[in-house]
Amino acid sequence: MNTIRVTARFNGPSGSANGGYAAGLIAAAVGETVKVRLLRPVPLDCDLFVTGADPSWEIRSGDAVVATATMTTVDVVAPAPMPYVEALGVSLHFEGFSKHAYPACFVCGTARAPDDGLRIFPGRVPGTTTVAAPWMPGHSLDDGNGKVGAEFVWAALDCPGYFASASPAAALLGELAVHIDRLVHVDEPCVIMGWKIVQEGRKHRVGTALFDEDGERCAVGVATWIELPKAAAL
């Protein structure tokens, strides 16, 4: 049994963890390529217990199962990456600048300071249905070897998927699977792309990918986002 903890810095919606970051911690604890399904908001600043064995695991907070993880492969074709400089321009049109359901989110929150949140602001690529964002990971994300910790790669591939879904409503991450080709370095200019795969009612299946400055894919993810009923929107 492994124990993990999401500290308050890594929140998504107020009072709960950013889904991508929490899923990345779970994947690291399992040590396999997994699909993490979030069954309820992941609590902050408390012990979460990871139990099970290949091919499935449960993550518990007390007696409650907050998530599950199952072994998987991530097989999806990503769009061609946008150059970093162009992604900077696209990011200026991030819709969250005018209206944001979770402005304090660790990944995409506009209220987070540059040395605190990831500040990944994906904008719509003109003439396409994809979104793109630049990302220059800071030193607080260092895994101790000059590279970005895997859990932060999972986090970076989280929120861009929501904005790629073009959901008209607030939504929460329901499921995320990530395959990492290589960990990017701290201070390495990167581009994140997001694209919509399919929508089924309130469920949006999306893809996200992380590229380095040379356009080489470093990680790819597939996620399901679930729209909140209007009465439940935060």
Q: Domains in the chain, please, with CATH?
A: 2-71 (3.10.129.10), 84-232 (3.10.129.10)
Report the pLDDT value the prediction gives residue 120, as an integer from 0 to 100.
Answer: 98
Compute CA distances 30 → 4, 6, 56, 223, whole Å.
11, 16, 9, 19
Token reading at 198 = 């399919």
Report the pLDDT value the prediction gives residue 187, as an integer from 0 to 100.
Answer: 97
The structure's pTM equals 0.96
The confidence band for 183, taking pLDDT boundaries of 50, 70 and 90, is very high
Report the pLDDT value the prediction gives residue 234, as an integer from 0 to 100.
Answer: 44
Rounded distance between C-alpha atoms, residue 192 and residue 82, angstroms: 9
For residues 211-222, average pLDDT: 97
pLDDT, averaged across the chain: 95
Over residues 143-165, the pLDDT tens digits come to: 999 999 999 999 999 999 999 99
Q: Identify whether the C-beta of residue 178 lies closer than 8 Å to the C-beta of residue 223.
A: no
Over residues 24-72, the pLDDT tens digits come to: 999 999 999 999 999 999 999 999 999 999 999 999 999 999 999 999 9
Rounded distance between C-alpha atoms, residue 53 and residue 56, angstroms: 6
Token reading at 226 = 């679930």
Rounded distance between C-alpha atoms, residue 24 and residue 36, angstroms: 9
The confidence band for 231, taking pLDDT boundaries of 50, 70 and 90, is very low
Rounded distance between C-alpha atoms, residue 184 and residue 168, angstroms: 32
Token reading at 65 = 């199962």
Token reading at 214 = 């040379």
How many other CB atoms are there within 10 angstroms of residue 72's CB atom? 16
Report the pLDDT value the prediction gives residue 168, as an integer from 0 to 100.
Answer: 87
Report the pLDDT value the prediction gives residue 25, as an integer from 0 to 100.
Answer: 98
197 has pLDDT over 70: yes
